[in-house]
Amino acid sequence: MKNRYFGLDLSISCPGFAVLEVKKNRKPTLLFYGHLKTNPKLPHGDRLAHIKSYVEAIRYDYGPFVKVIREKAFHNARVHATAGGYKVAGIVDYALRGVEIEELANSTVKKEVTGNGRASKDDVEVAVRGWFPEEEFKTDDESDAVAVVLACLLREGLIEEVK
């Protein structure tokens, strides 16, 4: 079995995705990353269906996955945005049924990848580029999805910190 991990940075407007593989040398290989910009003029149901289809295509192309990792949804004053995030998480859970899904707090991802639990999005991207300097991330959603997987792999001791 291939040791592949699927990372998610979920939102209704522009979710980010990343697939990494870890081999015996404990070095991660970035197999895929991308984002999906959904049309804000479409109803939520259509946007969710588009996200579900995209996730299913990634699962088909790169699975099976040892684990799926996403940032933990959080409560805040922006109730509408939080509710939308829960809808996206639900549809992704459905698309990935049968696969273990782990959630990491945003501060945990930042701490594992940058050493600072309050790091900025730019700091996270710089840290991710330390692992994959040749990659051209089009959005912070893409680099955040990679960071989510790296954080999980670092926490579990499956990879070594980049030097």
Mean pLDDT in order along the chain per 10 residues (163 residues): 89 95 91 96 95 97 94 57 78 93 93 94 94 94 96 94 74
Would residue 133 count as lying in a domain? yes
Number of Cβ atoms within 10 Å of the Cβ of 84? 18
Return the pLDDT at 162. 77
Task: Work out how many domains the chain is built from and give that number.
Answer: 1
- Calculate ∠ Cα 109-111-115, nearest 5°: 140
pLDDT digit string, tens, across residues 100-123: 899 999 999 999 999 999 999 999
- The DSSP secondary structure of 36-89, one letter per residue, reads ----TTS-HHHHHHHHHHHHHHHHHHH---SEEEEEPP---S-HHHHHHHHHHH
What is the helix, strand, coil percentage profile of the chain, to 5? 45, 20, 35
Would residue 49 count as lying in a domain? yes
Return the pLDDT at 85. 78
Would residue 161 count as lying in a domain? no
Would residue 101 count as lying in a domain? yes
Would residue 69 count as lying in a domain? yes
**What domain range is 123 assigned to?**
4-155
Would residue 163 count as lying in a domain? no
Residue 83 CA to residue 49 CA, distance in Å, equals 16
Would residue 18 count as lying in a domain? yes
**Strand order, beta sheet including 16-22:** 28-35, 16-22, 4-9, 67-71, 101-104
Residue 107 CA to residue 99 CA, distance in Å, equals 24
Would residue 146 count as lying in a domain? yes
CATH label of the domain that carries residue 124: 3.30.420.10
